[in-house]
Structure 1
Amino acid sequence: MRGELRLALPAGYRVRDVLAFHSRDAEGLAEQVSASGLRKGVLLDGVPVVLEVAFGEDEARCTVDADGASTDALPGRAREALLNILGLRIDPAAFADFVRDDPVLGPVVARQPGLRIVQSATIFEALTWAIIGQQINLPFAISLRRTLIGLAGRPHPSGLWCYPEAPDVARLALEDLTSRKFSRAKAETLLRFAHLVVDGKVVLDRTRSLGEVVEELLAIKGIGPWTVNYALLRGYGYPDCSLQGDVAVRTAFHRLLGGPERPGIAATEQLLLRYAPHRTMAAAYLWASLIDPPA
């Protein structure tokens, strides 16, 4: 199945941010990025799909290339995945208005208007990426992610590999992961989570209430508040995630506010409260401030 659709891009859309997010893995196993577009491989309803995006001035021209028969849900799921990977879930304008006079993030927003939250293609991808990335550096997390794709994903005829779904990960044995540099705890959490999704005990649905999602995820051994909030941000597109446990968020506050030491988790939670109900965008701009320090 091959289909096409076009998505309108808002004024000031920052293509470079989207391309940078999807080019983090230099080996390009499941993502390929060019100067004018990107290609992303992902399994949707068990079908290997490549989402191809060509950026125009005011629209994204998207192709959905499925290696197999389409399910009834596949076109809709492909469109949802495209909205995610293009960062079209959260409009940053409301946050820009909210912090216009804020002495901390107001200047950061003024220097980088229109920053968007780019998401993983699916909620499952976001959660597994959050589990993989817990308490390790980014290059190592990227290498583990690549390993998971190679073990559980599937190749598309185009050459890209497709990020796995829960049944694909659930089929792995613990030793498949631990023999390839996954810690035992991380491997157990990944497999536990995948099995719960397959068994219907964890439901990954963006329409569910926030309270239900948080309660369900926090009940999973190995998943804590940081993982849940990061997944809410990258997977669900929730606009008010509080990432007080994120080291980069705390480091950014330290650089912007000064002081003898980086704020602790409790202090960072209080600092983030001033940006509710826009704490997701606050996190995005705090991260951005680390590569664009104040003049």
Structure 2
Amino acid sequence: MSATASTTAKPQESTAVRILKKPITATLLAIVLGFAVAAILLAVAGYDPIASFTALFEGIFAKPKYISNTIIKAAPIILTGISVAFAFKTGMFNIGAEGQYVAGTICALIAGTMLNLPMPLQIPVVILAGVAGGAIIGGITGFLKARFGIHEVITAIMLNWTMLYMNNFVVNSEMFHQPSSTSSIAINPSGFTTILPEWKLSDAGLETLRNIPWLYDFLVKTDVNIAFLVAVAVAVLIWFVLFRSKLGFELRAVGFNHDAAEFAGMPVERNTVLAMLIAGGISGLAGALMITGIQPHSLSTLAGFENYG
């Protein structure tokens, strides 16, 4: 090797440096630092950090029903998190995931109450209605950004509140209101995505599950549903779309450099709208799965956001 080549050769990174550069390392460090800061704050406030963290983990892992409830609560947060992350990768800040989530619940409720198809048809129709609701709200944000340059943060925040009041309008409408309550009527049972909803409460189901205490605790005492499995599948699908498809390359290119993407002949406006349509649809999916999967399978009057988005 010549002297010139040896001087210009890129020095090899050590194993430690390569490990530190991995995304999983940053995630783990963030978790550790989060617990460290929380421990300091608890100690300053006069609380025992060890006892506090013990109570936290016991509340998650001490019983099967606690694990089940954690999974149930995690599913919509994972989906709306994917929605925000997807939009971010395409150069958009989707602060409207909450409104898109609410839109998903509204559309899922309307479809689930007005239709009563056989379960294999009802569930996809109700879920697709929720996805469409979230996608429409996300698409509005993307369209206004692409066509008129209106910043997505402003539009999304306004639409969040619009959807909150739309939720309350639907709940209190004559068609959907549950008398003597602050809730809407429930969707038809054929749209439920709870795991084994009828069997686990039947005599045969209860007799079988009582012989398996942990499974009884996990299934019968909670509304465990398919949302978590769907969230994992969506995460894999979105990764594939973003990093293993032509569409994902174009969406990321537009987000990385709007002008360069336009110069390369990519449809920038279309991709901006499409990115928010997809992001909104994912948040709408979260809302639909909550309506179909969790009791009472209905909407409630909202005084504030549920903070899923």
Please report the TM-score for the alignment, with normalisation by the length of structure 1: 0.26
Q: Which has the higher helix share?
A: 2
Q: Which has the higher strand share?
A: 1
Please report the TM-score for the alignment, with normalisation by the length of structure 2: 0.25
